[in-house]
Amino acid sequence: MAKMGQQYTAERVSLLGVLLGVALVLSFLENTVIATSFLPPGVKFGLANVIVMYCLFFMGIREAVIMGVLKSLFVFLLRGAVGGMLSLTGSLLSIGIMSLLLLLSVRRASYLVISICGAVAHNLGQMVMVVFIMGNYAYFYYFPVLLLSGIIMGTMTALIMRGAMPVFQYIYKKTKTS
């Protein structure tokens, strides 16, 4: 992971830019190409979260937060203030929980556990923001659906992360040597 005082080189900023582009393309594809009409309301695959997890595991907490905030800004621009707030709240809680798991685990926690906890935390963060915005605790009755979807989608994200791991490790090694 990146050290707290680490400076941003041109290569590091470029990598973050490319990763943001990939995350935005994944988010766009998820929202437009992939037919999600069979999913319950508010449930998404979260494909772009693979990029946030890459940032967390290989670049550091700060870069994961930057990626989460920039993704939320993109959501704000496309879907408005409420969508941006939901995205930001979910992202920050998710990154916080995943970071905590990484920092507290004596043995490195598995990508599966971290991904599932991150997905569930993301859904919880969004649910809390919905309750705050709407001023109605009744929305928490929907949380079991979001809990189950977080487990399923977090598992899917972990599997994608595992499949893409050789590519991520190659990118990480290339950026470390430059």
Q: Name the pLDDT band for 171 (thresholds 50, 70, 90).
A: confident
Is the pLDDT reported for residue 5 higher than 90?
Answer: no
Q: Please report whether residue 4 resides in a domain.
A: no
Q: Please report whether residue 1 resides in a domain.
A: no
Q: Please report whether residue 3 resides in a domain.
A: no
Q: What is the DSSP letter of 9?
A: P
Q: Please report whether residue 114 resides in a domain.
A: yes
- Please tell me the predicted confidence (pLDDT) of residue 156: 92
**101: Cβ contacts below 8 Å, ≥ 6 apart:** 109, 113, 114, 117
Q: Give me the CATH number covering residue 20.
A: 1.10.1760.20
Mean pLDDT of 110-136: 94
Report the domain count for the chain: 1
Structural domain harbouring 60:
10-177
Instruction: Kindly report, residue by residue over 80-96, the tens digit of the pLDDT.
Output: 999 999 999 999 999 99
